[in-house]
Structure 1
Amino acid sequence: MLAANNSYVAPKSFILDGIPGLERVHVWISLPFCTMYIISLVGNLGLVYLIHHEESLHRPMYFFLAMLSLIDLFTCTTTLPNALCIFWFNLKEINFNACLVQMFFVHGFTGVESGVLMLMALDRYVAICYPLRYATILTNSIIAKAGLATFLRGVLLMIPFPFLVKRLPFCQSNIISHTYCDHMSVVKLSCASIKVNVIYGLMVALLIGVFDICCISVSYTMILRAVVNLSSADAQQKAFSTCTAHLSAIVITYVPAFFTFFTHRFGGHTIPPSLHIIVANLYLLLPPTLNPIVYGVKTKQIRDSVIKLFRGEKGASIQDD
């Protein structure tokens, strides 16, 4: 937009266009999205409550899982309600500053989620490689400090993004072909060079994504070596079975994340925009939806705690009657 003194000013608002090319089926697309969002709310709130309620789950592994559930809740809530408003009510306009706030929270929470997955890998490494020292290494104080450090890293690295966007002139279209304000989707509307934004985005991806994946890879390499050296096949299976839920969470989180990251920067016109936007939404929605289910199915302690909780509630209600 061009001001009277020929200087560029930021637009008052952006238009989130939803999924271009699929406008006629927005309502149908919203149904699985809404269902997944409801499942994520119920599953993650239930998991956090269960971990808080059951003393048998007051262990480092489940504290980290509670952190992951809370981050998953915040991540999908920053985007899904807005996307549903676009699909159902055609409410596409978003204030410029609100767009920057949404961008900050989306990238901030995904950065924190990556850090929590790394902490969970380190937890599994300590549990399998140093089982006798597990409780002394991962104390409540260490867990709190690690969680706080992970949160601060995600937040501090994302703070420059809104300011880097705010300095850009937007003299072309204010229509964002997306359901939420993603950094690259917004800066591509600028009529100035976005080189600084791209470089900083890559730097953050290295400091968070690549660093966390390297730590996870090293942790599981050491875990694999420790498991292989166990005496019996039964012990090997039991030790590695404690990692299957976490490995599933890693795949669920990182595969769509990297697809979104690389197609935004290198995909060009080879990837249909509608496919990119759908995957970008699933990247934020799949982990919150599937993680509680995966951990509920794969983790015996959580299954037993759910059964115990429901039996206790049932018993209490019968006694009251």
Structure 2
Amino acid sequence: MTTTDDQQTFADHRNLLFSVAYRLLGTAMDAEDVVQDAWFKWSAADRSQVADPKAYLARIATNLAMDRLRSVQRKRESYVGPWLPEPILTAGLPEPADSGADTLDAVERADSVSTAMLVVLETLSPLERAVFVLKEVFAFSYAEIAGIVERTEPAVRQAGHRAREHVQARRPRYTGATAARQQATERFLAASTGGDINALMELLAPDVTLWTDGGGKVRQALHPVEGRAKVAAWMAGVARRRTYEGVEISDMTVAFVEINGGPGITFTGAGRVISVMIVDLDDEGRIRTVHNIANPDKLQAVAGGSVHEMDPR
């Protein structure tokens, strides 16, 4: 029987469970399913034998997420076009006004749930991804992680080492502080919607890459668009259309929101979210990456308006 205290214990750790599951899976719907399944397991467990509820619940959610990840990875191999993580509205990752360690810590926490980071994590094995997330984001010790993923500590350390090297080699060198990204996002939107290729060219890094995810349900580029001229032409071409996905361009509403820990743009029209766009910067403040998610299946979390307070520890 589940008591009020048991319910409160689960509620106290719910953000943690979602935060772990989302970083492992990259989709809000799957992460919510993991949290729900974790509740069922928690409700059925002999909780009198649980010495550390946080570690116990983390173990349940991590293993559920790893099992689900192994399944969905096979499906993602046949995905139409680039597969990008499902965007979510976030909160609870403020950027401190002062400089120093607090600012660095906040930026790193926001980066751990960024679209760019989730794309990198997608290239890891389920075990490597779990170890990296638990160690680098949530500061579990290797001994704790070994118990959570049911592996030996040496095996966990080895997986963590592989994952860390892989991520460091591929993670964005610089995504930009929130204020700089916000300004760049606003300038990028103005130039794009105005079809001003020259202005776009000035904002884009020479090696900029545009990733678009339509999932075969919405017309998008099936391969990454690379290079300043091609990305500028692609964006300007979209702006010149009279309609986009059956909606008049002039009737669309644009909003700046916090997406995955940083500035993002939502495009809505005809009572639905049409796409979500996120940009990242290089170390010179130019736009290095553009992620555009238009697959309607991946816009439900944003369309629902639920804001996730991502537990940083």
- Given the two structures, how large is their TM-score scaled by the length of structure 1? 0.27
Mark the structure with the bigger radius of gyration.
1
Structure with greater proportional helix content: 1
TM-score by length of 2: 0.28
Tell me which protein shows more strand as a share of its residues: 2
